[in-house]
Amino acid sequence: MNDETKACPVCAERIKLASIKCRYCNADLIALAEAKEAEIEKSIFTGHPVVIYIFWQWLAVFVTLGIAYLYYWIQSVAITYEITTQRVKIERGILSKDKDSIELFRIDHFELQKPLGMRLIGQCILHLRSSDTNFPSVTLRGIPNLESLADTLRECSLRERTRRQVTTFVQA
């Protein structure tokens, strides 16, 4: 054994450190490494939604001389999103907490909406519809860069479906 060899993760035979395929068992080492990395849950976004995510809320803040901002701030603090490569977790509440979690492989449909009031300040709404009967839909709003996050979530959802070998039946 020297520093220029390593053990194959499949058959444990000694192979060169730079090998991309085992010469004994023919295992694809790059595919194994990617599959192992896909199993690790990584955080994509963690935090609260922005306080004001629609133009009309700014109008309400202006009309109420800032009192509405306090209301919107409390609403924002009461919600915490944790979005990972495998699931979406939503925690609601200030004193009492309610935590929901939905696996990405269960999400069937991604719908991005951009109402005029949200487009004016660069925000949008993401509706996620799932096959989970207990948690059929999730609405995400007030997250910075939600459009690019939606694309990332879709890719992660497809990757999770492939990894778990899940297929969807479409009703005709």
Residue 1 has pLDDT above 60, yes or no: no
106 — pLDDT class (breaks 50, 70, 90): very high
Its pTM stands at 0.79
107-120 average pLDDT score: 92
Q: Quick check: 157 and 169 in contact, CB under 8 A?
A: no
Q: 77-81, 95-99, 163-167: which range is least confident on average?
A: 163-167
Whole-angstrom distance, CA of residue 61 vs CA of residue 76: 15
- Which architecture, in CATH terms, is 39-164? Roll (2.30)
32-67: burial string, b at 16+ Cβ within 10 Å, e else: eeeeeebeeeeeebeebbbbbbbeebbeebeeeeee
The two structure tokens encoding residue 142: 């007030």
What local confidence, expressed as pLDDT, does residue 131 receive? 87
Quick: pLDDT tens for 48-91. 999 999 999 999 999 999 999 999 999 999 999 999 999 999 99
Domain boundaries, the chain: 5-37, 39-164
